[in-house]
Amino acid sequence: MHILFLNGNEFRGTGHDLRRALWHPLFIAQALGMTAIIFILRPYDPFMPEDVIVRKLIIVSSVIVFLAVLVVLFLQSNQWRIFRRTLPVIIIAVLIASVWGVSISSLAGGHFLGPLEWLQLLAFNTVFTTLGEIFLASFLLKAIVRDTGMVALPIAAQPPAEPSTATPEEPVECPAWLEILGNRLKADDIWHLKAEEHYVAIHLRDGQSLLARGRLVDAIAQLPENCGMQVHRSHWIAAEALAALHRHRSGWRLDLHNGHDVPVARNRQANVRPWAEAILQSA
């Protein structure tokens, strides 16, 4: 799973990692805080029932629907690229939660909305939740990532390698076990290494990931040369992890079988493209 926030930060991991993140105290605190702001501002009072308790229950149920839609859509990010970006996911979740809230409110004795009122409601909800997303990505994401083991905030720490015109070698079978930055791992399980700040994120075949202290260049040095390739100054991928090669408006990118989307550095394209094409043709 791969989530791209509006400020450029990333959130990568498995569905289990996402559920852990949702139960993180900081995320819960933000959700409760934003709900409290709605209780204080009372933007929905004009069309909701007069009973205060009913109003609060409708708001809480709408928040739950909004979060549930977010989770469902983000879990589809491996199959649908549009759900990797938070803005379209937020818009869809806002629309569904708004329809839910207005429908329940009408059934409980509230007022029906006209076109202009609908437009105002959707605009407020979209702006409000987008501000919450920006706050989450800018101030809380790093702590949540650190505690859940997901990967975020890519950091470029390596100098780019000189381009080479050498013919790429066919991938060969790797040793059964490897020692990577102090972690003993099965070679076949290592699919993707990514440079983090003072750490290297090691993504495994089963979707799990771990964070090892060290440099990407040192981790790559502990890998057999022909088991994979460094495709970017922050990324190394295993040959077995490669699922597709495609051209994006920002350059060439590699799709991995675990759902990760990895950029190819411009100065490495001469090596990476023939290597990737050879692997995909032989698969």
Instruction: Using alpha carbons, list the distances in angstroms from residue 116 to 5, 121, 123, 204.
Output: 30, 9, 11, 50
CA atoms of 279 and 283, how far apart (whole Å): 6
pTM reported for the whole predicted model = 0.57
Edge-first strand listing for the sheet containing 151-152: 2-4, 10-12, 151-152
Which pLDDT band holds residue 153 (cuts at 50, 70, 90)?
very low
The larger pLDDT score, comparing residue 133 to residue 3, is at 133
pLDDT on residue 118: 96
Q: How confident is the model at residue 173 (pLDDT cuts 50, 70, 90)?
A: low
Q: What is the pLDDT of residue 198?
A: 84
**Does the pLDDT at position 125 exceed 50?**
yes
Q: Is 67 helix (H, G, I), strand (E, B) or coil?
A: helix
pLDDT of residue 147: 67
Q: Per-residue pLDDT tens for 190-229? A: 999 999 888 999 999 888 888 888 999 999 998 887 889 9
| Mean pLDDT score across all residues of the chain | 85
- Higher-scoring residue by pLDDT: 75, 156: 75
Residue 244 pLDDT > 80, yes or no? Answer: yes
Asked if the model's pLDDT at residue 33 lies above 50, the reply is yes
Spell out the domains of the chain, with CATH numbers in brackets.
2-152 (no CATH), 177-282 (2.40.50.1020)
**pLDDT tens digit sequence for 48-95:** 999 999 999 999 999 999 999 999 999 888 778 899 899 999 999 999
Does the structure show a pLDDT above 60 at 127?
yes
How far apart are the C-alpha atoms of 16 and 144, rounded to whole Å? 14
CA atoms of 207 and 132, how far apart (whole Å):
28
pLDDT for res 115? 95
- Specify the pLDDT at position 132: 96
> What's the sign of the alpha-carbon dihedral 215, 248, 278, 162?
negative
pLDDT of residue 77: 82
- Cα distances from 137 to residues 20, 27, 72, 144, 240, in angstroms, run 16, 11, 19, 10, 32
Cα distance from N-terminal residue to C-terminal residue, the chain: 23
CB contact at 8 A, 160 and 267 = yes
The C-alpha atoms of residue 50 and residue 53 are separated, in whole angstroms, by 9
| Cβ-based neighbours of 203, under 8 Å, separated by 6 or more | 12, 151, 191, 192, 193, 194, 209, 258, 260
| 238 in Cβ contact with 228 (< 8 Å) | yes
pLDDT of 32 higher than 80: yes
Q: Which residues contact 239 (CB under 8 A, 6 or more apart)?
A: 171, 226, 227, 228, 229, 279
Looking at residue 166, its pLDDT comes to: 46
Higher-scoring residue by pLDDT: 12, 58: 58
